[in-house]
Amino acid sequence: MASPQEQKQALRTAALARRDALDPVYRVEASLRIAELGAALPVSAGDVVAGYWPMRSEVDVRPLMFGLRERHARLCLPVVLGETTIAFRELLRGVPLIETGFGTIGPGAEAVVLDPTVLLVPLAAFDRRGHRIGYGAGHYDRVIARLRESGVASRLVGIAFDCQQVEAVPDEPHDIIIPDILTETGLHTVMSSP
Protein backbone atom coordinates (compact mmCIF):
# COMPACT_ATOMS: atom_id res chain seq x y z
CA MET A 1 0.00 0.00 0.00
CA ALA A 2 1.20 3.50 -0.83
CA SER A 3 2.33 5.77 2.01
CA PRO A 4 0.27 8.90 2.84
CA GLN A 5 2.96 11.00 1.13
CA GLU A 6 2.74 8.88 -2.03
CA GLN A 7 -1.05 9.04 -1.96
CA LYS A 8 -0.93 12.83 -1.54
CA GLN A 9 1.52 13.15 -4.42
CA ALA A 10 -0.78 11.16 -6.70
CA LEU A 11 -3.80 13.25 -5.65
CA ARG A 12 -1.79 16.48 -6.08
CA THR A 13 -0.65 15.50 -9.56
CA ALA A 14 -4.17 14.58 -10.69
CA ALA A 15 -5.81 17.69 -9.18
CA LEU A 16 -3.22 20.02 -10.68
CA ALA A 17 -3.64 18.34 -14.08
CA ARG A 18 -7.40 19.01 -13.86
CA ARG A 19 -6.73 22.62 -12.88
CA ASP A 20 -4.19 23.06 -15.69
CA ALA A 21 -6.73 21.63 -18.17
CA LEU A 22 -9.32 24.31 -17.37
CA ASP A 23 -9.92 26.71 -20.23
CA PRO A 24 -7.97 29.94 -19.50
CA VAL A 25 -11.11 32.02 -20.04
CA TYR A 26 -12.96 29.84 -17.53
CA ARG A 27 -10.14 30.37 -14.99
CA VAL A 28 -10.48 34.15 -15.37
CA GLU A 29 -14.28 34.04 -15.06
CA ALA A 30 -14.10 31.63 -12.09
CA SER A 31 -11.51 33.86 -10.36
CA LEU A 32 -13.82 36.85 -10.79
CA ARG A 33 -16.73 34.78 -9.43
CA ILE A 34 -14.58 33.82 -6.43
CA ALA A 35 -13.93 37.53 -5.86
CA GLU A 36 -17.69 38.21 -5.90
CA LEU A 37 -18.41 35.35 -3.51
CA GLY A 38 -15.54 36.47 -1.27
CA ALA A 39 -17.55 39.57 -0.45
CA ALA A 40 -19.29 37.32 2.09
CA LEU A 41 -16.08 36.87 4.06
CA PRO A 42 -16.33 38.60 7.43
CA VAL A 43 -13.48 41.05 6.87
CA SER A 44 -13.53 44.48 8.42
CA ALA A 45 -11.40 47.59 8.58
CA GLY A 46 -8.08 46.82 10.19
CA ASP A 47 -8.05 43.13 9.29
CA VAL A 48 -4.81 42.01 7.66
CA VAL A 49 -5.49 39.75 4.67
CA ALA A 50 -2.67 37.62 3.33
CA GLY A 51 -3.27 36.63 -0.25
CA TYR A 52 -0.78 35.36 -2.78
CA TRP A 53 0.43 36.28 -6.25
CA PRO A 54 -0.98 33.60 -8.57
CA MET A 55 1.37 31.27 -10.36
CA ARG A 56 0.72 28.81 -13.15
CA SER A 57 -3.01 27.99 -13.27
CA GLU A 58 -3.90 29.01 -9.69
CA VAL A 59 -7.01 30.98 -8.84
CA ASP A 60 -6.17 34.64 -9.36
CA VAL A 61 -7.04 36.13 -5.95
CA ARG A 62 -5.99 39.66 -6.87
CA PRO A 63 -9.60 40.77 -7.63
CA LEU A 64 -10.68 39.30 -4.27
CA MET A 65 -7.84 41.04 -2.47
CA PHE A 66 -8.57 44.39 -4.07
CA GLY A 67 -12.24 44.02 -3.12
CA LEU A 68 -11.19 43.40 0.47
CA ARG A 69 -8.93 46.46 0.32
CA GLU A 70 -12.03 48.47 -0.62
CA ARG A 71 -13.44 47.31 2.73
CA HIS A 72 -10.33 48.81 4.37
CA ALA A 73 -8.45 45.60 4.99
CA ARG A 74 -4.67 45.78 4.90
CA LEU A 75 -3.13 43.43 2.35
CA CYS A 76 0.06 41.42 2.41
CA LEU A 77 1.77 38.81 0.28
CA PRO A 78 3.91 35.85 1.34
CA VAL A 79 7.64 35.90 0.71
CA VAL A 80 9.69 32.75 1.21
CA LEU A 81 12.79 33.48 3.27
CA GLY A 82 15.45 30.82 3.15
CA GLU A 83 14.28 27.25 2.72
CA THR A 84 11.41 27.07 5.17
CA THR A 85 10.11 30.42 6.41
CA ILE A 86 7.32 32.60 5.05
CA ALA A 87 6.99 36.26 6.01
CA PHE A 88 4.01 38.38 4.99
CA ARG A 89 5.00 41.77 3.59
CA GLU A 90 2.48 44.58 3.29
CA LEU A 91 1.15 45.22 -0.20
CA LEU A 92 0.57 48.91 -0.88
CA ARG A 93 -0.45 50.70 -4.07
CA GLY A 94 2.47 52.02 -6.07
CA VAL A 95 5.16 50.02 -4.26
CA PRO A 96 7.40 48.10 -6.67
CA LEU A 97 7.14 44.34 -6.54
CA ILE A 98 10.11 42.01 -6.87
CA GLU A 99 10.57 38.34 -7.70
CA THR A 100 10.27 36.37 -4.47
CA GLY A 101 10.92 32.84 -5.68
CA PHE A 102 8.69 29.98 -6.79
CA GLY A 103 7.44 32.07 -9.73
CA THR A 104 5.77 34.69 -7.56
CA ILE A 105 6.34 38.36 -6.86
CA GLY A 106 5.84 40.48 -3.78
CA PRO A 107 6.97 43.55 -1.87
CA GLY A 108 10.68 43.99 -1.22
CA ALA A 109 12.58 43.80 2.05
CA GLU A 110 11.70 47.40 2.95
CA ALA A 111 7.99 46.51 3.29
CA VAL A 112 6.42 46.16 6.72
CA VAL A 113 6.03 42.54 7.89
CA LEU A 114 2.51 41.77 9.16
CA ASP A 115 0.74 38.89 10.89
CA PRO A 116 -2.44 38.16 8.92
CA THR A 117 -5.82 37.91 10.61
CA VAL A 118 -7.20 36.29 7.42
CA LEU A 119 -5.03 33.88 5.46
CA LEU A 120 -6.05 32.96 1.90
CA VAL A 121 -4.41 29.57 1.43
CA PRO A 122 -3.76 28.30 -2.10
CA LEU A 123 -4.71 24.65 -2.45
CA ALA A 124 -3.44 21.99 -4.83
CA ALA A 125 -6.25 19.65 -3.68
CA PHE A 126 -8.80 19.51 -0.85
CA ASP A 127 -11.57 17.35 0.52
CA ARG A 128 -14.88 18.23 2.17
CA ARG A 129 -13.39 17.73 5.64
CA GLY A 130 -10.99 20.64 5.17
CA HIS A 131 -7.92 18.51 4.67
CA ARG A 132 -5.65 20.06 2.09
CA ILE A 133 -2.74 19.25 -0.11
CA GLY A 134 -0.34 22.04 -0.92
CA TYR A 135 2.63 21.89 -3.24
CA GLY A 136 4.58 19.61 -0.93
CA ALA A 137 7.10 21.95 0.68
CA GLY A 138 5.10 22.49 3.89
CA HIS A 139 5.45 26.29 3.86
CA TYR A 140 1.84 26.99 4.84
CA ASP A 141 1.77 24.23 7.48
CA ARG A 142 4.79 25.82 9.16
CA VAL A 143 3.57 29.41 8.93
CA ILE A 144 0.10 28.53 10.28
CA ALA A 145 1.70 26.66 13.19
CA ARG A 146 4.04 29.63 13.84
CA LEU A 147 1.14 32.10 13.83
CA ARG A 148 -0.84 29.93 16.25
CA GLU A 149 2.14 29.52 18.56
CA SER A 150 2.56 33.30 18.67
CA GLY A 151 -1.13 33.74 19.57
CA VAL A 152 -2.35 34.94 16.17
CA ALA A 153 -5.70 33.28 15.40
CA SER A 154 -5.78 33.75 11.64
CA ARG A 155 -8.99 32.80 9.87
CA LEU A 156 -7.99 30.21 7.25
CA VAL A 157 -9.75 30.28 3.88
CA GLY A 158 -8.65 27.76 1.28
CA ILE A 159 -8.77 28.93 -2.33
CA ALA A 160 -9.26 26.52 -5.23
CA PHE A 161 -11.36 25.64 -8.23
CA ASP A 162 -14.06 23.00 -7.74
CA CYS A 163 -12.14 20.57 -9.98
CA GLN A 164 -9.42 20.35 -7.32
CA GLN A 165 -11.69 18.62 -4.82
CA VAL A 166 -10.82 14.99 -4.12
CA GLU A 167 -12.74 12.27 -2.29
CA ALA A 168 -10.37 12.16 0.70
CA VAL A 169 -6.93 13.48 1.56
CA PRO A 170 -4.99 10.93 3.65
CA ASP A 171 -4.91 12.02 7.31
CA GLU A 172 -1.58 12.76 8.93
CA PRO A 173 -0.93 13.92 12.52
CA HIS A 174 0.41 17.32 11.44
CA ASP A 175 -2.64 18.17 9.28
CA ILE A 176 -4.12 21.62 9.73
CA ILE A 177 -7.81 21.75 8.86
CA ILE A 178 -8.94 24.60 6.64
CA PRO A 179 -12.46 25.38 7.91
CA ASP A 180 -13.60 27.37 4.87
CA ILE A 181 -12.95 26.65 1.20
CA LEU A 182 -13.80 29.33 -1.37
CA THR A 183 -14.39 28.09 -4.92
CA GLU A 184 -16.30 29.39 -7.91
CA THR A 185 -19.49 27.81 -6.53
CA GLY A 186 -19.36 29.34 -3.08
CA LEU A 187 -17.84 29.60 0.37
CA HIS A 188 -18.00 26.05 1.70
CA THR A 189 -17.72 25.42 5.43
CA VAL A 190 -16.19 22.00 5.77
CA MET A 191 -17.84 19.00 7.38
CA SER A 192 -16.43 17.86 10.70
CA SER A 193 -14.50 14.63 10.89
CA PRO A 194 -16.51 11.73 12.37
Q: How do residues 127-159 score in pLDDT, each as one tens digit?
A: 999 999 998 778 888 899 889 999 988 999 999
Residue 11 domain-assigned? yes
| pLDDT tens-digit readout, 171-192 | 888 788 999 999 999 999 986 5
Residue numbers of the domain that contains 52: 4-187
Which residues carry a binding-site annotation for ATP? 8-12, 132-140
Cβ atoms 182, 159 nearer than 8 A: yes
Question: Residue 120: its pLDDT value, please?
Answer: 97
Looking up residue 146, the CATH number of its domain turns out to be 3.40.50.10420
Residue 42 within any structural domain of the chain: yes
User: How far apart are the two ends of the chain, measured CA to CA in Å?
Assistant: 24
Residue 194 domain flag: no
- Other Cβ atoms less than 10 A from the Cβ of 95: the count is 14
pLDDT at 112: 96
Confirm whether 193 is domain-assigned.
Answer: no
Residues forming the annotated binding site? 8-12, 58, 132-140
Asked if residue 117 is part of any domain, the answer here is yes
pLDDT over 90 (residue 170): yes
Among candidates 89, 48, 81, 82, which has minimal Cα distance to 65?
48
Global pTM value:
0.93
| Residue 192 within a domain | no
In a domain, 125, yes or no: yes
Lowest-pLDDT range of 21-30, 52-61, 161-170, 172-181? 172-181
**Domain tally, the chain:** 1
Binding site for substrate, by residue number, is: 58
88 in Cβ contact with 76 (< 8 Å): yes
